[in-house]
């Protein structure tokens, strides 16, 4: 029994944007609402730490390998 399938045209045509095709800026608009609070901006939180620690490495040459960050771990006084 064959367990493969042929993709339908819409699935086959779907592609993922490459980094050079991604937008260079994203605008976020917070809309007032009477709905219960659900948070704002959480999707950007997980990659923030990696980007921040890479920026620290670029600036200082020191690689951050554990969290939470602290001034003493960075060698600052």
pLDDT at 56 exceeding the cut of 70: yes
Residue 52 lies in a domain: yes
- Count of domains for the chain: 1
More confidently predicted of 14 and 38: 38
Q: Can you give the pLDDT at residue 58? A: 92
Q: What is the pLDDT of residue 41?
A: 61
Range of the domain at 75: 45-77
pLDDT score for 35:
83
Give the pLDDT score at 68: 85
**SS3 of the chain:** CCCCCCCCHHHHHCCCCCHHHCCCCCCCCCCCCCCCCCCCCHHHHHHHHHHHHHHHHHHHCCCCCCCCCCCCCCCCC
């Amino acid at each position: 029994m064959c367990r493969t399938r042929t993709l339908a045209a819409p699935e086959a045509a779907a592609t993922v944007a490459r980094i050079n095709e991604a937008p260079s800026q994203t605008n976020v608009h917070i809309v007032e609402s009477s709905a219960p609070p659900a948070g704002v901006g959480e999707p950007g939180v997980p990659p923030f730490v990696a980007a921040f620690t890479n920026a620290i490495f670029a600036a200082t040459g020191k690689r951050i390998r554990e969290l939470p960050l602290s001034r003493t771990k960075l060698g600052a006084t």
